[in-house]
Each structure stands twice: as structure tokens, then as C-alpha cells.
Amino acid sequence: MAKTVSADSGSTLKTVVNLWPYMWPADRADLKARVVWATFFLIAAKIILVIVPYFFKWATDALAHDGKTTPPLPAFLLAPVMLVIAYNVVRLVQWGLNQLRDALFARVGQHAVRQLAYKTFVHMHDLSLRFHLERRTGGLSRIIERGTKGIETIVRFTILNTAPTVLEFVLTAAIFAVAYGWLYVLVVATTVWVYTWFTVRASDWRISIRREMNDSDTDANTKAIDSLLNFETVKYFNNERMEAERFDRSMARYEIAATKTWTSLGWLNFGQGLIFGIGMTVMMVMSALEVQAGTQTVGDFVFINAMLMQLSVPLNFIGFIYREIRQALTDIEQMFDLLDVPQEVTDRPDAKPLSVIQGTVEFRDVHFAYDPERPILKGVSFSIPAGKTIAIVGPSGAGKSTISRLLFRFYDTQKGAILVDGQDIREVTQHSLRTAIGMVPQDTVLFNDTIAYNIRYGRPDADETDMRRASELAQISGFIEKLPEGYKSMVGERGLKLSGGEKQRVAIARTILKAPPILVLDEATSALDTHTEQEIQTALDLVSRGRTTIVIAHRLSTVIGADEIIVLREGVIAERGTHQSLLRQKKLYAAMWDRQREATEAEERLRVAREADELGVVVRRRTAEV
């Protein structure tokens, strides 16, 4: 893959150099052939383009001098009408070659866009969890979207427009020098230089305006997506107006920046037109004086005018191309920055696949901190024998969920080691490590697809029988089969069409389908009501049977049967033992157990009272009816 370059540190030429491997792919001979043929038609079209005004000149002279032309022409072209026809036929051929060039290069350009978009997408998944927790998804998607479009702009305009424009300038200058003298070349060169200088300066001025507009657009889009993703929360707190005003403030900034962008574009176009108009006026006056002096024909006057009109097209493209490329570089600047973000967790060059024979897990003197000034784990050591279950409990912020993130190697430890069957997980491939571990999280977020797709996510190549068996073990098959579309039912964005318990069962089903030797249950039932928790716990007990299991729990009632319970407090192991032994110690675990038991009993009393009230209402209603 080509090494990327940021928009601020590299020129357009450097960007093209970095993009070239995508436009001239080493493994695609068919695309290389398209580039060669597109280049051939590009050159042919430009050569024909500078010939076109000659037919216009000859036709004019033929009409002005009763068919006498200089130089002499073949008999079949002496008729002015034939010259006019030839003029339009040549223009048509030139236009056709341009279209053929664009058609040939289309696949090349789109292939480059696809490869770079794919590289960015893969890179986003390779970056650390820390990066994604600090980024806003709405803004990230907008950056990638604009960056992809910007890449397409650069690929298309640098190859399809810049090269032909330079070639046309060279051919035009050569014709003027040979036919009319260096004075004409000087005027043309001066016009082009002033025009280009003005365009570059004005476009550079507009870049800051464009960047401000992009920032406002990203901010507005982020707020919109964030608000829609939290639709229920907005409704709970009746804050639709606040969200709309928050979004409108971002759009107001975008409106101001966008207005500046279009206004500055108007001034740029006016300045370009003025510069070219002055240059064209000077050359036409020079030609008119020579026609009056008899040193040029009317055909020469028309020829110079036609050449200048043709020259105005690539001149206009000079400004357009520069603006588009500079704006595209601005658009892909953040995308290049994303591609330059290094992976925090990488496989070592000599990393080997993890070999899981028994499934023992060991944390050996593990130290970790998200922020160096705030350590999370301070020398945690424990081991889980194969097929056993260990529970990790403790107050909020004690480092419980950090344990699972380190085991999955979303982060690397700062000190100490984590071993699976005696293998340091930093010395094995991440893919093999995560293949060996299953996860049932607290907040199960599903893909906006079918139930079948979400269950099969645990093992995409699983057949229908295995998928249905996993659903049965997760105790969700009965619910699915009652749905009108069964396993083809859509779950909605983030699974919002399913209840919390149903989503958890889907998560359990896909973990069963994955069939990992090591299982992590990260507060898998803490967000559920007591009744649903008991149902889910039965399925969890089933899926964890015979597997090395880490249960990260908030509700202590779910870890009573664990082989060992570890109590974390402020990043260290405060207590450890079985449920009964920890209760006998009457320390932190016992205190947590008493508080939760009291809360559960209060919840149960409230439920019984509510049911009694509802029963009383029913009895009174029926009594009244009688």
C-alpha cells in the first residue's frame, strides 16, 4: 500500500505520487491497459483540437476571397461549405475522443476510490478502542465520506484535466510562435501567468473559508446523528426543542461559512474573466491592425479568436482544477490524518496463532492505566483453571470491565502479563486470541439487520441447523418462531425493536454459535429486571458449562455459584474466596451483599404491593358489575 501524506505537508504532486499505485495497480493488467489507451486518446484529442481552428480559418478565407485559400487545398475542400462541414466533423471527432477517454478511465478512478475507501475502513477497525471512545461516530463518518469524494476528485482532475491542459498550452504557444511571432506568445504567456497567479492566490484565500464550512458541517451532522441515536432519551426528557436549537446553531455557522464560500467564488470568477478579457482584447486588437495593414487575412483574425476561445476552456479549467484539487485536499486532510493514526495494539512480527488446549487464564501482576495520572489496575494477579468460573465484583470504578478489555487485548498492559494456556497474549495474533474468547456484554447492540444475521455473527458460516440449535439453547427460539417473519425479522437500529432480555438472548445465542473455549460475561444481566435476569441467568449457566468463564458482575446474586469470587477495590484485590467464605469474613463483599439483598427485598415488597393493588382494583370492578 502507498504511504499516505497529509494535505498540509504535501503538494498536489506528492498526493498524485501517493495515489499512483492505486491508479496503476500492479496486479491489474486490464486497468493498466485502460490507462494507456485513455492517455493515447487524450493526446489525440488535444492534437485534433488545435487543428480545428484551421478549418475555420480556411473556410473564412474561402468565403472572403471567392474560394482562394492559403495554403492551396485539395479540390474537394475548395468549396467553403465543405470546409465548414470538415470543421464541425473534426470538432465532433475531438469531442468523441474525450468521451472515450473518460469512459476508459472511469473504472480506473473508481477502483482507486474503492481501494482507498476500503483501506480507511479497515484502518478504522484496526485502531484502538481508546481512539473510538474518544471520537464521535457522526463526525467520523462525515470525514470518511468527504475524504472518499475528495480522492475521486484528485484522481480524475489530475489525470484527465491537468495533463491535457499543459499539452494544449504547449501546442497553442508553438502555433502562435511559428505562425504569428513571439509577440503573440508573450501576450498569451503573460495572460496565462497572471490568470494562474490570481487563481492560486484567490483559491488559497478560499481554503480557510472551505475548512470552516466543513467543520460546521461535521459538527451539525454529529449533533444530528447523536440526537437521533438517543431518540428515546430526548423524548424521556422532553428536550426536542433543545436538540433542534442545538442543531440549528451548528447549521447557522454552516450557513454563514457556506455564504462566504459562494460569495468568494463569485469574486474569483469575476477576476478570472477580467484578466482573460484584457488579454484577449489585446491580441484581437493586434490582429485587427495587421489585417488592416494587409499582413494578415480575415481568416487569421478568426483563427486567433478561435484559438483564444479554445484556450479559455483549459484556462478556466486551470482555476477549476486548482480549486477542486485544493478543496479536495482540504476534504481528505482529516482522512489522511486518520490513516496516519498509528495502531495502539499491533501483532508482533513473529506472532503465532494462539493454541488453546485447556483454556486456563492467568493475570500475572497486571498494571494498567488509561491515563498515567490515574492508574486503574495496580498489580492484579489471579488464575482461572480450565473449565472453572471466576467472578469479579467490586464498586464502580474498581477496574472490573478493564479486566475484560485487557483479556481481549483492546489495550496492552503497562506491566505484567496475561497468559492463556501459558502463552503471553502479546505474543500471539489478535485474531486467534479473539477467536478463542466469547463475550456477552451488559449492553448488547445489534446490527440493523435480521435476527438470523445477528445470531450468525458469532459464526458467519454456520448453517441453519446450528443457528436454530444455538437459539434453542439461548431460550429465544420460541419467541423468534412466533414473529411473522421468524428469523428474517428485522431488529431495528441497535436492536431497538427487541426488549433488553430478547437482545441479551440473541447475544447469548451468537456466543453459543461461536463456541469459544473462554467466556466473558461482562455484567450481562445488570440492566435487566429481576425476573428477566433469572431467565437469562439460566441460559448463561448453560453456555458457560465446561468453559473457562470470567463473570464481571454488579448483582452479586448472579455469582453465588462461582468457583471463586474476586473483590476489586481501587485497582487491587481486596478479598477473594467462595460466596460463603466471603460472607463469613464480613468485610467489603458481605457489606455489598447486605445492601443488595435489602434493595432486592424492597423491590420484591413493592412488586407484591403493586400486584395486590391491581388485584383489588379488579375485585372492586367485578363487585360493582355484579
Residues 513-559 pLDDT 10s: 888 899 888 876 665 566 666 766 777 777 778 889 898 887 787 78
Collapsing DSSP states into helix, strand and coil, what is residue 487?
A: helix
Name every residue whose Cβ is closer than 8 Å to that of residue 554 and which is 6 or more positions away in sequence. 393, 523, 526
pLDDT number for residue 419:
92
Domain residue spans in the chain?
12-340, 361-584
> In whole angstroms, what is the distance from residue 55 CA to residue 310 CA?
14
Q: Which three cell numbers stand for residue 91?
A: 470538432
* CA nearest neighbour of 303 among 166, 483, 178: 178
Domain 361-584: give its CATH architecture: 3-Layer(aba) Sandwich (3.40)
Among the ranges given (241-250, 303-312, 525-534, 562-571), the one the predictor scored with the smallest mean pLDDT: 525-534
DSSP string, 191-257: HHHHHHHHHHHHHHHHHHHHHHHHHHHHHHHHHHHHHHHTHHHHHHTT-HHHHHHHHHHHHHHHHHH
| Cα–Cα distance, 291 to 298 (Å, whole number) | 6
Q: What is the mean pLDDT of residues 471-499?
A: 81
pLDDT at 77 over 60: no
Per-residue confidence band for 87, with pLDDT thresholds at 50, 70 and 90: low
pLDDT, average across residues 310-318: 72
Long-range contacts of 448-451 (CB under 8 A, 24+ apart): 448/490, 448/491, 448/492, 448/493, 448/494, 449/490, 449/491, 450/487, 450/488, 450/489, 450/490, 450/491, 451/480, 451/483, 451/486, 451/487, 451/488, 451/489, 451/491, 451/506
- Beta bridge partners, 576, equal 566
Q: Using the structure block, give the residue that is written with the C-alpha cell 448453517.
A: 463
Asked whether the beta carbons of 307 and 173 are under 8 A apart, the reply is: no
Dihedral sign for Cα 150, 151, 153, 157, please.
Answer: positive
In angstroms, the CA 256 to CA 513 distance is 53
pLDDT for residue 4:
40
Amino acid at 303: F
220 or 415, which is more confident? 415
- Of 409, 407, 408, 356, residue with least CA distance to 380: 407
Q: What is the pTM of this model?
A: 0.64
CB 547 within 8 A of CB 359: yes
Model confidence at 7, pLDDT cuts 50, 70, 90, reads: very low
Share the mean pLDDT of the chain.
78
Residue appearing with cell numbers 363487585: 623
Confidence of residue 195 (pLDDT cuts 50, 70, 90): confident
Q: Which of 439, 437, 405, 412 is nearest to 427 (CA)?
A: 412
Q: Residue 438: which pLDDT band, with cuts at 50, 70 and 90?
A: confident
User: What's the pLDDT at 6?
Assistant: 39
Is the peptide bond prior to 71 cis by the omega test (within 30 degrees of 0)? yes
**% of the chain with per-residue pLDDT over 90:** 5
Question: Given a cut of 80, is residue 152 above it in pLDDT?
Answer: no
Q: Looking at per-residue confidence, does 216 or 406 come out higher?
A: 406
Q: What is the mean pLDDT of residues 161-179?
A: 76
Q: What is the pLDDT of residues 253-298, one digit of tens each?
A: 888 888 877 887 788 788 888 888 888 888 888 888 888 888 877 8
**Residue 108: pLDDT over 70:** yes
> What DSSP string runs through 275-314?
HHHHHHHHHHHHHHHHHHHTSS-HHHHHHHHHHHHHHHHH
pLDDT at 69 over 60: no
Q: Percentages helix, strand, coil for the chain, rounded to the nearest 5?
A: 70, 10, 25
- Mean pLDDT score, 299-325: 74
The position carrying cell 484535466 is 161
Whether the CB-CB separation of 368 and 414 falls below 8 Å is answered with yes
Span 228-238, pLDDT tens digits? 878 777 877 77
Decide which of 2.60.410.10, 3.90.230.10, 3.10.350.10, 1.20.1560.10 is the CATH code for 12-340: 1.20.1560.10
